[in-house]
Amino acid sequence: MRDDTTRSSATPATSDLPTPLLELRDLAITFSTSNGEVEAVRNAHLTVMPGETVAIVGESGSGKSTTALAAIGLLPANGRVSNGSIIFDGEDITSASEKRIVELRGSSIGMVPQDPMSNLNPVWKIGFQVKETLKANGLPSGTQDVAKVLSEAGLPDAESRANQYPHEFSGGMRQRALIAIGLSCRPRLLIADEPTSALDVTVQRQILDHLDTMTEELGTAVLLITHDLGLAAERAHKVIVMYKGQVVEAGPALELLTNPRHPYTQKLVASAPSIASRRIESAKRAGIETRDLLAPAVVKAASLDTVIEVEDLTKVFKIRGSWGRSTDFTAVDKVSFSIARGTTTAVVGESGSGKSTVAKLVLGLDGATSGSIRFDGVDITTLGRKEMFDFRRRVQPIFQDPYGSLDPMYNIYRTIEEPLRVHGIGNARSREKKVRELLDQVALPSATMQRFPNELSGGQRQRVAIARALALDPEVVICDEAVSALDVLVQAQILNLLADLQSDLGLSYLFITHDLAVVRQIADHVAVMEKGKLVEQGTTDEVFDNPGTAYTQALLAAIPGAGLVLPPEVA
Amino acid sequence: MPEPTSLPAPTEAPTPMARTKTSAYPIEHFVADPDETPVRATDSTVSDAAPRSLWSEAWRSLRRQPLFIISAVLILAVIFVALFPGLFTNEPPNENCLLANSDGGPAPGHPLGFTVQGCDILSRVVHGTQSSLTVGLFATIGVVLIGGLIGALAGFFGGWVDAILARVGDIFFALPLILGAIVVVQLPVFQQNRNVWTLVVILVTFGWPQIARITRAAVMEVRNADFVTAARSLGVSPLGALVKHVIPNALAPVIVIATISLGTFIVAESTLSFLGIGLPPDVMSWGNDIFSAKPSLRSNPMAIFWPGLALSITVLSFIMLGDALRDALDPKARKR
């Protein structure tokens, strides 16, 4: 009875269309927290047609994951659907019984979680975990079936792989196993929550390509959650943009990119690095002057003065084996590059390429095994204690994680003042003046001085970290994935800030990153690293236009949205 | 690896969106009313509220916890009693003992009755607070200083420093407190000078490894934080980074464990005194009173009940305070 009534109400008024597979209507989700009720999502509308890929794009805290979790009935214990309805295949499951939801999960709605590292149970073999899913949904679960499921997800040699434990798998392989589990019961809808954000770009591309083919073959609809507009536009039929818990715009991918109508979408299209880097490429191809598309500081007179020259830099780590024997692991292998004063050099590579070790060595935080790092002609690897202390003033780092790089016990004034105090510069009054100047430079109000890091947003913390790095008037700033953890709009702001500071202060940047889209926007020179070796370097234009190695080509092709060819006048 | 999608050739004509998917279904372009969800300036979270450090945040959340308020009131009361015993009883605890009153029930001026020696129970309980609390407090200070220092050095420097210090800690950790105390008390030095301070030394000797372990783990976690690396690249020395950045951030779990162990040290004092190897009989303490009331447990249970109650309430309030602090200092462990 009840089923019938909901079914009829679920049929859309314009009923020449088939029933949507998933429909969210006026959905509101409320969390009860220690600060009272918080509405995380409101008025969310969403339809997924059978076989369609729909992407939800939004910054952190926009409610995109919460919305998707609600659809599969997996809200955290303190969250509830406070309004609206969730209709799956004509059936209202908003307040369906736990039993019904469990029936739907796996068999009708599959899920690929975000972090492949923590979503496989480390004490069970991969095969067992696939088997568990098959069994739970009443499907044949013999060794052959398990192997078949795994090989479909693109795991080579599936039968023996099934006998391995998660720690024996790489990140990409784990995500494949999770996709295998998610699709093993042939669900009609697959919810993929940032399925590749923890993976390297080349692996990300492979996984998404494979997901595309598999879901296409099986006719599975996909609800893809991502923070990357470029990725969403490339992979989805329909893109939904969420902001502050609301759907602000939804439509076909192309329409949204070329004709964004909501101010937030317009901002997003204008600043998403993957889209922006495509725009630069398209503009170049169309013969349009790209200057105004690039960050301002990239436009500058080429300087011949070399500030840092790295030559044959090698770092060997000893990996402790059993019984005191150790094996050598070469993290950085004969790397040479140089940074011209006032320019930005990007070192690009995937995880394990040794790029962060290079940053540590150049900062003088770790000793090189061999090779030299010359700063203004002086080799820093041979510096004594005193000279090293002076050298520290000239090179400063900015780190990736804005939540880890500021001491939570220090207020902002003490944080920025610390470098001045350590180096005994000025007295209390002049230091305070300097801190005010620095805050002004990074566009933070001087009232921020009294605040503590826990009161600031990620982007503001990163500004504080930049102010601290600039306190000693360094010549070189080493940005170790400095914008990778930020939301795109904030990322664009910080990149602009860095570029402005470069042109104002003549800074040189060593930009360590995995994100080629960002490199395109900010760097003058690019050095590509693979497994400790520097495989290619040149000006950004050279590397992007004529990548010399297959590895660089693969990296470039893997930038989300690489297939998009955007008219340069977009946005 | 299947590569179903082909790369666009670089020479491809710039047709817009060469590779977006097109759906079989019509897709409507929906735009929310921009006035309904105004786009705020990116990154605007600085409020007008007064700045709050982590400690003041913790204090704010503590103030609202009934567990904290109850335990804090109790502890303050116990401390007050220890500082001003004269305000609570006029009876001297030892001098006025009349055997005629032995095991006597409550009498005017003696609301809790008398011990087997005929001493006023209330007076003994009140005056016993001081030694119990002193032992607990100074033993805790001792373990935090010694254990904290060793743990911090082991955690921060790692390598062989850690290997040696952690092993030494394990050796002490393996010795049972009671057994160890019985042996150590036999040493002539301790035999001749049995007082509150020798007991503190014994408790610290066997108690520091626990704090050392906690500190070591906390320090190791903070050691790799980016802000420590940032300080190092400013030219801050390793020791400077340890003192200025690592230890303040590793303090929270140590404070929690120290508060809880203050309670357990008071118990340990009583246990040792009860066994006759703690405080000498002439020092008033709850443990000694429980010990001396033991023979008359059947005839006068109240003589053991009152010091026992004082002991339990004090220990319980320290443990409750520790729990409240844990909730306030570690938001991750907070219950929903």
pLDDT of A54 higher than 70: yes
Answer for the pair A199, A117: CB distance below 8 angstroms, yes or no. Answer: no
Q: Which among A457, A483, A332, A338 has a CA at the least distance from the CA of A398?
A: A483
Residue with more model confidence, A40 or B114: A40
Could you tell me if residue B95 is inside a domain?
A: no
Q: Same domain for A248 and A263?
A: yes
All residues of chain A having their beta carbon less than 8 Å from the beta carbon of residue B63 are none
All residues of chain A having their beta carbon less than 8 Å from the beta carbon of residue B1 are 154, 206, 210
Could you tell me if residue B28 is inside a domain?
A: no
User: In the numeric block, which tokens belong to residue A343?
Assistant: 């320019």
- Domain total of chain B: 1
DSSP, res B57: H
Over residues A155-207, the pLDDT tens digits come to 878 888 888 888 888 888 888 888 888 888 888 899 998 888 777 888 888 88
All residues of chain B having their beta carbon less than 8 Å from the beta carbon of residue A455 are 45-47, 51-52
**How far A269 CA sits from the closest chain B CA (Å)?**
14
Domain that holds residue A158: 2-271
Could you tell me if residue A537 is inside a domain?
A: yes
| CATH number, domain with residue A528 | 3.40.50.300
All residues of chain B having their beta carbon less than 8 Å from the beta carbon of residue A567 are 14, 16
Residue of chain A minimizing CA distance to B51:
A451
Within a 10 A sphere around the Cβ of A546, how many other Cβ atoms?
Answer: 11
The reply to whether residue B53 touches residue A452, judged by beta carbons under 8 angstroms, is yes
pLDDT confidence of residue A272: 77
Mutation target for A interface from B11, B23, B221, B242: give the one with most A CBs within 10 A: B23
Could you tell me if residue A567 is inside a domain?
A: no
pLDDT confidence of residue B15: 40
**How far B319 CA sits from the closest chain A CA (Å)?**
24
The reply to whether residue B16 touches residue A465, judged by beta carbons under 8 angstroms, is no
CA distance A350 to A558: 12
Q: Which among A466, A517, A469 has a CA at the least distance from the CA of A492?
A: A517
- Domain total of chain A: 3
Q: Same domain for A309 and A191?
A: no
Q: What is the total residue count of chain A?
A: 571
All residues of chain A having their beta carbon less than 8 Å from the beta carbon of residue B231 are 407, 418
Task: Give the CA distances from residue A47 to residues A183, A250, A369, B30, B161, in Å, rounded to whole numbers and listed in that order.
Answer: 21, 10, 58, 12, 61
The reply to whether residue B14 touches residue A567, judged by beta carbons under 8 angstroms, is yes
Residue B245 CB burial class (10 angstroms; 0-12, 13-18, ≥19)? buried
Q: Same domain for A468 and A483?
A: no
Residue of chain A minimizing CA distance to B247:
A409
**How far B318 CA sits from the closest chain A CA (Å)?**
25
Within a 10 A sphere around the Cβ of B95, how many other Cβ atoms?
Answer: 8
Question: How high does pLDDT run on average in chain A?
Answer: 83
Q: Which of B16, B233, B240 sits opposite A396 (nearest CB)?
A: B233
pLDDT confidence of residue A75: 85
Position A399 confidence tier, pLDDT thresholds 50, 70, 90 = confident
Residue of chain B minimizing CA distance to A366:
B233
**How far B327 CA sits from the closest chain A CA (Å)?**
13
The reply to whether residue A567 touches residue B235, judged by beta carbons under 8 angstroms, is no
CA distance A438 to A433: 9
Instruction: List A332's β-bridge partners, or say none.
Output: A315
Q: Which of A213, A244, A271 is a domain's end point?
A: A271
pLDDT of A498 higher than 50: yes
ipTM: 0.75
pLDDT, mean of residues A426-446: 89
The reply to whether residue A267 touches residue B34, judged by beta carbons under 8 angstroms, is no
Which H or E run contains A428?
A: helix A428-441
Please give the interface size between A and B, counted as residue pairs whose CB atoms are below 8 Å apart. Answer: 214
All residues of chain A having their beta carbon less than 8 Å from the beta carbon of residue B232 are 365
CA distance A156 to A176: 11
Could you tell me if residue A26 is inside a domain?
A: yes
The reply to whether residue B1 touches residue A206, judged by beta carbons under 8 angstroms, is yes
pLDDT confidence of residue A509: 92
Could you tell me if residue A93 is inside a domain?
A: yes
By DSSP bridging, strand A91-92 and strand A109-112 are unpaired
The reply to whether residue A253 touches residue B17, judged by beta carbons under 8 angstroms, is yes
CA distance B119 to B113: 8
User: In the numeric block, which tokens belong to residue A13?
Assistant: 């008024």
Q: Same domain for A519 and A411?
A: no
Q: Same domain for A348 and A289?
A: yes
The pLDDT > 70 percentage for chain A reads 89
Could you tell me if residue B30 is inside a domain?
A: no
Over residues A348-380, the pLDDT tens digits come to 988 878 888 898 888 888 888 888 898 888 888
pLDDT confidence of residue A240: 92
The reply to whether residue B17 touches residue A257, judged by beta carbons under 8 angstroms, is yes
**How far A138 CA sits from the closest chain B CA (Å)?**
30
Q: Same domain for A502 and A365?
A: yes
Mutation target for A interface from B33, B44, B46: give the one with most A CBs within 10 A: B46
Over residues A219-234, the pLDDT tens digits come to 889 999 988 888 888 8
CA distance B326 to A185: 44
Q: Which of A212, A251, A363 sits opposite B28 (nearest CB)?
A: A251
Q: Same domain for A378 and A280?
A: yes
Over residues A528-543, the pLDDT tens digits come to 998 888 999 988 888 8
> Three-state secondary structure along A164-206?
CCHHHCCHHHHHHHHHHHHHCCCCCEEEEECCCCCCCHHHHHH
Contacts 24+ apart (CB under 8 A), B23-27: B23/A49, B23/A52, B23/A237, B23/A238, B23/A252, B24/A49, B24/A51, B24/A52, B25/A17, B25/A18, B25/A49, B25/A52, B26/A17, B27/A237, B27/A238, B27/A250, B27/A251, B27/A252, B27/A255
Residue of chain A minimizing CA distance to B236:
A422
Q: Same domain for A145 and A165?
A: yes
The reply to whether residue A234 touches residue B20, judged by beta carbons under 8 angstroms, is yes
Residue with more model confidence, B20 or A314: A314
The reply to whether residue B233 touches residue A233, judged by beta carbons under 8 angstroms, is no
All residues of chain A having their beta carbon less than 8 Å from the beta carbon of residue B17 are 233, 253-254, 257-258, 564-566
Q: Which of B24, B32, B226 sits opposite A404 (nearest CB)?
A: B226
The reply to whether residue A253 touches residue B336, judged by beta carbons under 8 angstroms, is no
pLDDT (tens digit, 0 to 9) for every residue of chain B, 336 residues total? 444 444 444 433 334 444 567 777 777 778 877 777 777 766 665 556 666 777 777 888 888 888 899 999 999 999 998 888 878 777 777 777 777 777 677 777 777 777 777 778 888 888 888 888 999 999 999 999 999 999 999 999 888 899 999 899 999 888 888 888 888 888 888 878 788 888 899 899 988 999 999 999 999 988 888 889 888 888 888 889 999 899 988 888 898 899 888 888 988 888 888 888 888 877 888 888 888 888 888 888 888 888 889 989 999 999 899 888 888 876 554 433
Could you tell me if residue B99 is inside a domain?
A: no
Concatenate the DSSP letters of all residues of B127-185 into one string: HHHHHHHHHHHHHHHHHHHHHHHHHHHHHHH-HHHHHHHHHHHHHHHHS-HHHHHHHHH
DSSP, res B306: H
Residue of chain B minimizing CA distance to A236:
B21
CA distance A380 to A374: 6
By DSSP bridging, strand A109-112 and strand A189-193 are parallel
Q: Same domain for A455 and A512?
A: no
Q: Which of B8, B28, B37 sits opposite A563 (nearest CB)?
A: B8
Could you tell me if residue A570 is inside a domain?
A: no
pLDDT confidence of residue A346: 92
The reply to whether residue A210 touches residue B2, judged by beta carbons under 8 angstroms, is yes
pLDDT of A236 higher than 50: yes
Over residues A275-313, the pLDDT tens digits come to 766 666 666 666 555 444 554 444 444 456 888 899 899
Instruction: List A318's β-bridge partners, or say none.
Output: A328
Q: What is the total residue count of chain B?
A: 336
Q: Same domain for A162 and A238?
A: yes
The reply to whether residue B8 touches residue A565, judged by beta carbons under 8 angstroms, is yes
Residue with more model confidence, A225 or A76: A225
Could you tell me if residue A384 is inside a domain?
A: yes
| CATH number, domain with residue B191 | 1.10.3720.10
**How far A1 CA sits from the closest chain B CA (Å)?**
31
**How far A388 CA sits from the closest chain B CA (Å)?**
8
Q: Which of A271, A303, A332 is a domain's end point?
A: A271
Could you tell me if residue B147 is inside a domain?
A: yes
The reply to whether residue B42 touches residue A493, judged by beta carbons under 8 angstroms, is yes
The reply to whether residue A249 touches residue B20, judged by beta carbons under 8 angstroms, is no
Residue with more model confidence, B98 or A513: A513
Q: Same domain for A315 and A442?
A: no
pLDDT confidence of residue B7: 41
pLDDT, mean of residues A520-527: 88
pLDDT confidence of residue A297: 42
**Over the range A303-324, which residues count as b (16 or more CB within 10 Å of their CB) and which as e?**
eeebbbbbeebbbeeeeeeeee
Could you tell me if residue B206 is inside a domain?
A: yes
Write down the pTM of the prediction. 0.79
Domain that holds residue B225: 54-85+115-333
Q: Which of A221, A242, A271 is a domain's end point?
A: A271
Q: Same domain for A277 and A184?
A: no
